Amino acid sequence: MKKAQNIVVFLSVLIGVGLAYISFFNVYQTDDYFWSYTTRKVGLLKSFINTYTQWGGRYFGYSINMFNPVFFDPNNILPKIYPVFLMLSFIGVSALNFKEYFGYSLKESVKKGFLLFFFYTILLVSLPEHYFWITGSNVYFVPVILSGILLYFLKKREDTGRKIWLYPSAFLIIILMGSNEILALILEGLLLVSYYQKRNRENLFLVLLGTLFLLVCFLAPGNFNRMGEEEKGMVIWLKRIALFGADTLYVGLKVIMVLPLFIKVFEEELKKISTQITFQKAFLFWSVSLLPLLFTSYILTSIARQFESILFYFLITFSLIIFFRFEKIKKVWWISLCIVFLPELKIFPEKYAYFNIDFNGENIVMELFTIDLKEYEREMNERVDMIKNSSQDSVVVDKIKEVPRILYIDEMASVKEQETYVNDQLQKYFNKKYIRTKE
């Protein structure tokens, strides 16, 4: 176990340093400009109302994006430090929980935090959108960190019996229900299971509070405005069933591939938990991960960045179930370790390429050794300067030639193509009628 832990800690530190280096060349992208533009144009309150009624119900996730400082940050400072800050926050909050739940020393807790960071990173569906795109980080990564803080508050409330810990827990539940729909469903499921396990007034209050704000998020007019026309009858239900099976299979296979290594690394923690909880209860907590899978299949959403919370929760809870029944799987941990650094498993045609499994290890290595990140940053800054300093209403810029694999980029349409949302966002932000790339 110690050998596996030491290897994974070493790899985790390497990955963290590599991602921090890559972050040094990060710049603002797409929706970062959009949120800054809308906030400056109509103000925070009007922007919030417009977003909730016309776009979606993520009342917290979208609100913090309204503070995107791209207008006040011409040197691109925030994109370079924010990803590193969030990654360190994840490790720190994880260490805090390991110390609280297992009584570890500070040194051991930080080590465990790095171990968890490794598994979190390799499971990400879209590392660029999750770590390096500010808009994406605020909607998908920040809530995970806040969930860790909520977990800490709930533990303190349980251990001390003091109601003072109930209030920050309630506040975080309100925030998290408005962060993104997937995490909201996982949290709602956990609140229901917790109340089922221990029926008291405080747990009832939390589950009712969570349900109320879950509805605030899901019933936002903007969610319904964005729904397009869809097929009716049996066909739509057959598609939903097929997609549920495909999405669940993807999540299950990706988790199973790293499960032996995860169980080997966190063997002590799983052993301790298994003495405090029954298999039936563990299965009940794992089943919560099926809620967002049912939801995404119902709205016909396939694998994308929103699945990252499902993958992480699935891994943690499913590992306990496997530990109960098939603990010996930990003996093949070295196979999982090798799999992590394999290239993307490209077995599906382009139309279904999102089902190809990728553990990000090879992508990070290739980014560091094959991409000229300095040149990419120079090209992006040169583009922004050209648009900003042009006195014309129409601007045509060069395509980005050095395209990274890890840093998030969504290229604009060219002069020969139909306008995309990226063109529209930059046109509004820079007050231009027409912005395109050369053919």
Give me the pLDDT at residue 305, please: 86
Give me the pLDDT at residue 292, please: 94
pTM over 0.75: yes
pLDDT at 303 over 90: no
The DSSP letter of residue 164 is G
The answer for residues whose C-beta is within 8 angstroms of residue 18's C-beta and 6 or more apart is 364, 365, 367, 368
> CA 251, CA 240: separation in Å to the nearest integer?
16
- Residues 365-416 pLDDT 10s: 889 999 999 999 999 999 999 999 999 999 999 999 999 989 999 999 999 8
Q: How confident is the model at residue 2 (pLDDT cuts 50, 70, 90)?
A: confident
Count other C-beta atoms under 10 Å from residue 280's C-beta. Answer: 8
**Look-up: residue for tokens 């990070």?**
364
Q: How confident is the model at residue 231 (pLDDT cuts 50, 70, 90)?
A: low
The DSSP letter of residue 56 is -
In sequence order, the β-bridge partners of residue 397 are 437
> CA 347, CA 145: separation in Å to the nearest integer?
33
Give me the pLDDT at residue 227, please: 60
Q: How confident is the model at residue 184 (pLDDT cuts 50, 70, 90)?
A: very high
Give me the pLDDT at residue 95, please: 97
pLDDT mean over 267-292:
94
Distance of CA 325 to the CA centre of its chain: 30
- Residues 320-356 pLDDT 10s: 999 999 989 999 999 999 998 888 877 887 777 778 8
Give me the pLDDT at residue 67, please: 93
Buried b (16+ CB within 10 A) or exposed e, 213-224: bbebbbebebbe
Q: How confident is the model at residue 226 (pLDDT cuts 50, 70, 90)?
A: low
- Residues 52-103 pLDDT 10s: 999 999 999 999 999 999 989 988 999 999 999 999 999 999 999 999 999 9
* E strand or H helix that includes residue 435: strand 434-437
> CA 226, CA 245: separation in Å to the nearest integer?
25
Mean pLDDT of the chain: 92
